[in-house]
Amino acid sequence: MGRLFGTDGVRGVANADLTAELALGLSVAAAHVLGEAGSFEGHRPVAVVGRDPRASGEFLEAAVVAGLASAGVDVLKVGVLPTPAVAYLTGALGADLGVMLSASHNAMPDNGVKFFARGGHKLADELEDRIESVYEEHRTGAPWQRPTGSGVGRVRTYDEGFDQYVAHLIGVLPNRLDGLKIVLDEAHGAAARVSPEAFARAGAEVITIGAEPDGLNINDGCGSTYLGLLKEAVVQHGAHLGIAHDGDADRCLAVDHTGAEIDGDQILAVLALALREQGGLRSDTVVATVMSNLGFKLAMEREGLAIIQTAVGDRYVLEEMKRHGYALGGEQSGHVIILDHATTGDGTLTGLMLAARVASSGRTLADLASVMERLPQVLINVPDVDKSRVGTSAELASAVAEAERELGSTGRVLLRPSGTEPLVRVMVEAADIDQARAVAGRLADAVKSSLG
């Protein structure tokens, strides 16, 4: 069996890959593993459980709650809230673990189970591996040790989580948003209530789209993966900016007043300069991934800021930030981590901070984002090749070296094996889009001939 845990929990088609039995079993296993690791010593354990609005989240939530309670864990059900809200509440309430049911930006039929450790932090790889092995061991026959009588977990609804999370968001803002008109696209997802409430309490005039989840329409032609509706709405309403979340609201993309997209790299650039001005950008360093646009790197260097680049994935960004105490990091996709105020990417917090910068500076988002020029970026997926040989093919290395000589300091090349599919991603950046396309095409041909 392949590894159940991916880079962001256990995910798959609900009721096919991700069944009630699997969700229940993983929850029991998590309770046992975290208990063995000493997380529950000396007290009765408590878990915070939340979900996005997907229809399948209803039965999966029931399975997770049943599993935890059967293992002797008391459960606080916070209902439909963003992933970062569940992480925050896990820490704020002193809970021993948190569980979020969501497949983020995936289509509605998918769902996922994500665990948080005490403090609201993502589980370390070794704990996930241990949960998986314990789950497998008991799935194939070894009986669980089950509490009885007063030892079983108690379950209650915790509606106060909504206001606690919104109050936290408002409390960390450096300034109010009075005078701003903002369009919010909630992707019919987990932030459909939280985000408009937070922006309104912060003083903004709020217009919402994609804020009527019915369990079936999450991420359906809206949200951070489909910015068309938001661009139209911002221009139509004469708004100062627009903010788009994904289904579980751990990411944020934006649109300026002209309807132009502002991606995660540009958001990072704006927030980095704002944080430095406020004295909060520790070591004058931003953490990003190898997929960040070269224009971002050049802009930060020009501003005197250092960049550390990690492998693709917000968990790798977070690990690097925690290891060295950096304050800001993120991905081009809109996962932005502001570590002083969140333990994971938080799309609502990111959007609020971006809007706060617009309000305090008196400048448009377009003007603020112009600190970096997004260089043309071409990405080609080359399928049906032996991705394991990317780093060992002399022929391919020669083709890459030739491409890098041609591009010089105004471009770059990145070859990356897919983590889940038999393909290699070829990414080329250059000052000129035609040159980027030509170089990417030649490299894609070289990948096919070298690794095919």
β-partners of residue 255 are 242, 261
Which stretch of DSSP H or E encloses residue 449?
A: helix 433-451
Is position 386 annotated in a ligand binding site? Answer: no
Is position 220 annotated in a ligand binding site? Answer: no
3-state secondary structure of 416: strand
For 228-250, letters b (16+ CB in 10 Å) and e give ebbbebbeeeebbbbbbbbbbbb
Tokens of 210: 């994609």
CA angle 295, 301, 302 (to 5 degrees): 85
CA distance linking residue 40 with residue 34, whole number of Å: 7
Is position 248 annotated in a ligand binding site? Answer: yes
Is position 104 annotated in a ligand binding site? Answer: yes
- Report phi then psi at 203, rounded to 5: 110, -5
CA distance linking residue 65 with residue 145, whole number of Å: 17
- Going 177 to 182 to 187 to 189, the CA torsion angle's sign is positive
Q: What residues contact residue 313 under an 8 Å CB cut-off, 6+ apart?
A: 7, 289, 331
Task: Say if CB 269 and CB 371 are below 8 A apart.
Answer: yes
3-state secondary structure of 82: coil
Could you say which of 102, 104, 224, 393 is catalytic? 104
For 314-337, letters b (16+ CB in 10 Å) and e give bbbbbbbbeeeebbbbbbbbbbbb
Query: Side-chain half-sphere of 174: how many Cα atoms within 13 Å?
Result: 19
3-state secondary structure of 171: helix
For 400-411, letters b (16+ CB in 10 Å) and e give beebeeebeeeb
CA distance linking residue 181 with residue 177, whole number of Å: 9
Residue 104 is a catalytic residue? yes
Q: Detail the residues annotated as belonging to a binding site.
A: 104, 246, 248, 250
Report the catalytic residues.
104
Q: Detail the residues annotated as belonging to a binding site for Mg(2+).
A: 104, 246, 248, 250
